[in-house]
């Protein structure tokens, strides 16, 4: 069957057998974190294999029906069988799309952060436009979102914001957005309406699994509590419910001020902190893999991935894949699936030349 070898179903079945045998060992649950990770992996493998085995059986049944219809000259049965074959082909296309989500963490929810670049109000407004674009995209796909932290701009827009995007494969989709996004437009904040170029940095992290991916020593944390702020910096809460957590060994910080309870903010900030620490570990692995794959380019200010040009012409272009569209209005309303898909396909081509 098409893609059968690519998905390595036999290899996955062998891994399932090994995991099942391991889970039967008397000391399997002595390491809770490792056991949970193994059981999750087992569940994921079973889901994939069961789906493909079911597809294989349906294909075999339809092949027999099709041959029977031809031999007996049963036109009605042929038509009915062809309709089922078309449905099966559509399912196969959907399953083949899973090739684009082959990363270790692609099935997970995502934590996405947007940071305004240098340029004051212009870049802060651009950062807010990008945040809105991702919220609209998530809504279109049926993903749930939660704004964990937001720092308003001085006059307009935002300095930074962190959101959680919950839904299967949301990280697999959004990981392609990591990097610098550039906007060229006539400034709505300039009395001369001069053309301005603004930049914003997008970070995308896989949501960590508590006590599985990253284990943090409580003694390594410093917690601060403060009042959440609204636009312009004014306080919007009387109680200090906002939380900032610093991981002392690395200096990494995470905060949450989503107008909820102090406990909920602390839990959300811990989730972001774990994700950032996990990203460090992922970067170390990527550097090792880069020695085999060639140059590795990390997401940062020097790596512009996409340009959104609103003047003197209209164009959105991804600089990694060359994919472009002349409808930036639709893109900024959240219609970014074509960019995501094209990037994911390019990564598959690179890993399977």
197/348: higher pLDDT: 197
Mean pLDDT computed over every residue of the chain? 84
Q: How confident is the model at residue 232 (pLDDT cuts 50, 70, 90)?
A: very low
Q: How confident is the model at residue 175 (pLDDT cuts 50, 70, 90)?
A: very high
Predicted pLDDT at 118: 81
CATH of the domain at 134: 3.30.70.1660
Q: Does residue 149 share a domain with residue 72?
A: no
Q: How confident is the model at residue 82 (pLDDT cuts 50, 70, 90)?
A: confident
Residue 100 has pLDDT above 60, yes or no: yes
> CB atoms < 10 A from the CB of 192, how many?
7
Predicted pLDDT at 211: 59
Task: Confirm whether 253 is domain-assigned.
Answer: yes
Task: Confirm whether 283 is domain-assigned.
Answer: yes
Q: Does residue 238 share a domain with residue 167?
A: yes
> Which range is least confidently modeled, 49-53, 68-72, 257-261?
257-261
Q: Does residue 270 share a domain with residue 186?
A: yes
> Could you tell me where the beta strands, DSSP code E, fall in the chain?
110-116, 144-152, 158-166, 179-186, 195-206, 221-226, 242-247, 252-256, 304-309, 315-318, 324-325
Domain enclosing residue 88, as ranges:
4-100
Q: What's the rounded Cα separation, in Å, for the pair 46 and 42?
A: 6
Which two three-digit tokens encode residue 132?
């809105």
Q: What's the rounded Cα separation, in Å, for the pair 158 and 201?
A: 12
pLDDT tens digit sequence for 251-276: 999 988 876 688 888 888 998 999 99
pLDDT tens digit sequence for 190-231: 877 788 999 999 999 999 876 566 778 889 999 998 877 654
Predicted pLDDT at 293: 47
Distance of CA 327 to the CA centre of its chain: 24
Distance (Å) of CA 115 to CA 77, 139, 204: 59, 21, 12
- Out of 100, 135, 162, a domain closes at 100
How much is the average pLDDT of 322-331? 97
- Out of 70, 100, 130, a domain closes at 100
């Amino acid at each position: 069957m098409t893609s059968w070898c690519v998905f390595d179903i036999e290899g996955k079945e062998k891994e399932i057998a090994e995991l099942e045998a391991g889970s039967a060992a008397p000391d399997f649950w002595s390491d809770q974190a490792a056991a949970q990770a193994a059981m999750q992996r087992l569940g994921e493998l079973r889901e994939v294999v069961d789906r493909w085995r079911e597809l294989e059986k349906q294909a075999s049944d339809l092949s027999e029906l099709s041959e029977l219809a031809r031999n007996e000259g049963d036109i009605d049965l042929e038509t009915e069988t062809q309709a089922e074959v078309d449905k099966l082909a559509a399912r196969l296309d959907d399953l083949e799309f899973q090739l684009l989500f082959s990363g270790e963490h692609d099935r997970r929810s995502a934590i996405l952060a947007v940071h305004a670049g240098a340029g004051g109000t212009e870049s802060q407004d651009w950062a807010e436009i990008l945040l809105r674009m991702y919220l609209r995209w998530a809504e279109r796909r049926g993903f749930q979102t939660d704004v964990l932290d937001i720092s308003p701009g001085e006059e307009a827009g935002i300095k930074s914001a962190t959101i959680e995007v919950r839904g299967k494969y949301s990280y697999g989709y959004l990981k392609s957005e990591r990097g610098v996004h550039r906007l060229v437009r006539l400034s709505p904040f300039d009395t001369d309406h001069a053309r301005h170029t603004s930049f914003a940095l997008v970070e995308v992290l896989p949501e960590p699994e508590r006590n599985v991916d990253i284990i943090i020593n409580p003694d390594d944390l410093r917690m601060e509590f403060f009042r959440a702020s609204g636009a312009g910096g004014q306080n919007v809460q009387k109680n200090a419910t906002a939380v900032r957590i610093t991981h002392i060994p690395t200096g990494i910080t995470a905060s949450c001020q989503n107008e909820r309870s102090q406990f909920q903010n602390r839990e959300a900030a811990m989730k972001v902190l774990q994700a950032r620490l996990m990203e460090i570990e992922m970067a170390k692995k990527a550097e090792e893999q880069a020695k085999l794959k060639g140059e590795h380019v990390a997401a940062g200010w020097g790596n512009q991935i996409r340009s959104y040009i609103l003047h003197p012409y209209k164009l959105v272009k991804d600089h990694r894949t060359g994919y472009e569209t002349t409808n930036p209005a639709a893109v900024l309303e959240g219609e970014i699936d074509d960019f995501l898909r094209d990037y994911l396909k390019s990564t598959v081509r690179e890993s399977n030349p």
